[in-house]
Amino acid sequence: MRSSEEPPRFKLREARKGMGMSAKGTRRKSGELVYQADLVKKEVMEKLQELGRRVVEDLRRKRWPSIELPLRTTKNIVYDEQLRQYVLGPKKSVRTLSNIRHVRPFAQLVWLAKFAKQLLETGKTSTLRDTYYVALGEQIDFEDQSESDDIIMELESVLGHPREDFNIFPEERASIYGDLVIEYTVPGFRGRRIDLSSHPDGYAIGPALTTAEFVRCGAEQVFVIEKGAVFSRFVEEGADRKFKALLIHTAGQSPRNCRKLIRRLREELNLPVYVFTDADPYGVHIASVLIHGSALSAHIKQINVPDAVWAGVYATDITRYKLPTMRFTEMDEKRLSELLVDPRYQTDPWKREVKYFEKLKRKAELEAFSKYGLEFIVKDFLPERLAELQKR
């Protein structure tokens, strides 16, 4: 199914030649083995320590401590042509203890930085929910978890690193299946290897898998699938073998760990990425966030996959394949109105399909192809769509 213009099958040793990389990580001149994940953690730790030093130095000099925060609003989001994603612009705000209204969020942010440092020092991880309850246990005043989550995003923007880099994670729900052998780099599991085709339900894309080294890959492309039922269908129908593909289930909007892993598969293994979503305004948005980046995470760089290709299901596929449909809900209408004015959807195929949704006012799910039999989506639709995309 591959066109002659597509990148050749990835060869691990060739791709890493000359970069100081082995199947296990980076070797220094001393012979010491250092994983990339360790280097990231070290950088985050240094930034956390620097943040603490600045606060202490302000107090020592009898100045009001202050922290500069990038302004996280849609009006401060710009498209970076070099990174090929939406990032925060130059506008910033200052949080200072000289302002009584800033005292509470300032204390929350400093506590969270301390907690993140503890996680890195001890090699432990925490979920967003755990972090909220630890804060309550230490008498940190958060009204609810959403407030705690927002402070975590503020720390991300200050450090320039996603929360995953300081060991705070959401509940995992994405998974991966296919011909890829990984080697774990996390403490307690370092050096252990897993074949991701050895579990029929796929492996959860958590922090350990996201930071693992790629040892051997027999796949030639990646299929990113919004729906769990269709992911299972792809596994059952052997889509991984028929198309030499890694299968990734995002369970709706792809978690950031999942996006990070997909980007690594694209950059490190040179694998084409195809994204399959429901034919509705939310499906369009799910694909766009993976490819262009999200407004909510614009302060985090390089967790989008700009070379990924949205492969449908398109609004026009509803008509083309005569799929069973449902009427738009009020939420669908609202989301569509947002897409119509969003700069990420002003070129084709995005603009074309959004306009068709506006005309059709109907939506369909990936599972709608089962109208023609359970095998149809893998046997008929998938090869047709890949052939069309590879001709472009």
Burial 37-52 (b: 16+ CB within 10 A, else e): bbebbeebbebbeebe
pLDDT at residue 43, rounded to an integer: 95
What's the pTM? 0.71
pLDDT at 298 over 60: yes
Task: Quick: pLDDT tens for 164-205.
Answer: 889 888 776 899 999 999 999 988 899 999 999 999 889 999
Residues annotated as catalytic are 133
**Model confidence over 226-278: pLDDT tens digits?**
999 899 999 999 999 999 999 999 988 998 889 999 999 999 999 999 999 99
- 13 has a pLDDT exceeding 60: no
Taking the C-alpha atoms of residue 58 and residue 79, their distance in angstroms, rounded to an integer, is 35
C-beta separation of 301 from 85 below 8 A: yes
Q: What angle do CA 136, 139, 144 make, to 5 degrees?
A: 40
- Whether the pLDDT of residue 5 is over 60: the answer is no
Domains in the chain, ordered, with CATH?
36-169 (1.10.10.10), 218-391 (3.40.1360.10)
Percent over 90 (pLDDT), the chain: 63
Convert the chain into a string of H (helix), E (strand) and C (coil). CCCCCCCCCCCHHHHHCCCCEECCEEECCCCCEECHHHHHHHHHHHHHHHHHHHHHHHHHCCCCCEEEEECCCHHHEEEECCCCEEEECCCEEEEECCCHHHHHHHHHHHHHHHHHHHHHHHCCCEEHHHHHHHHHHCCCCCCCHHHHHHHHHHHHHHHCCCHHHHCEECCCCCEEECCEEEECCCCCCCCCEEECCCCCCCEECCHHHHCCEEEEECCCEEEEECCHHHHHHHHHCCHHHHCCEEEEECCCCCCHHHHHHHHHHHHHHCCCEEEECCECHHHHHHHHHHHHCCCCCCCCCCCCCCCCEECCCCHHHHHHCCCCCEECCHHHHHHHHHHHHCHHHCCCCHHHHHHHHHHHCEEECHHHHHHHCCCHHHHHHHHHHHHHHHHC
